[in-house]
Amino acid sequence: MIKGVNLSKHYDQLEVLKNVNIEINKGEIVVIVGKSGAGKSTLLHILGTLDRPTNGEVYLDGKLVSGFGDAQLSSFRNNHIGFVFQFHHLLPEFTALENVMMPSLIKKITKKESEIRAKELLDYLGLGARLSHKPSQLSGGEQQRVAVARALMNKPLVIFADEPSGNLDTQTSKELHDLFYQLNKEFNQTFVIVTHNTELAAMAHRSIQMKDGSVIS
């Protein structure tokens, strides 16, 4: 479902990715591991269409997304891709419910339909009693679950997660990891996750190890 072909990325004279080839199947949980500076997040952002490769091609669901223009790429990203980051990036002035509704409203789904789905997701994630709470009124784990609900809002093909438990304590990290596997098992949700967390890496279907901008295993 996801394919990167001969991906490279240069910043001035710095080569961050070096001819990376990668394929990810529907329903897989794949983790990308390696030391800091290995190119993990750069690869994730290119596969997730947040950045463009200097050279190479990215295919998502059979479409050459690296060839899309900015507007087409933005629309595709909103419709088909979910993101979860280390820092949740929730909008502080909006409630949990409103934050989760955002991707659907951007997609021009009606407010009523968006609200129904957002409530269902938050309830599924154990946050049904926190709909009207703003991020500052939620724990770190609750904020990250709101971010997961937001990522799921438009029923994405894949969720890309960059160090999703990096800002959480051990128990809350475990709960988030368990949630990913529950979503994978129940809905065949595909995940591509950059992590330093060895427990999360051990739970994945497949682990891709990077070093100095290249995939080494």
In this prediction, the residues of the chain whose per-residue pLDDT falls under 70 are: none
| pTM, two decimal places | 0.89
Query: What is residue 89's predicted lDDT score, i.e. its pLDDT?
Result: 82
- Contact (CB, 8 A) for 24 and 191: no
User: Given strand 2-11, what is the order of strands in its sheet?
Assistant: 14-24, 2-11, 55-60, 63-64
Report the alpha-carbon distance of residue 119 to residue 132 in Å, rounded. Answer: 11
Question: Hey, which CATH number is domain 2-215, 1.10.3720.10, 3.40.50.300, 3.40.50.2300, 3.10.20.600?
Answer: 3.40.50.300
- Give the containing element (helix H, strand E) for 131: none
Query: What is residue 6's predicted lDDT score, i.e. its pLDDT?
Result: 95
Report the alpha-carbon distance of residue 204 to residue 4 in Å, rounded. Answer: 20
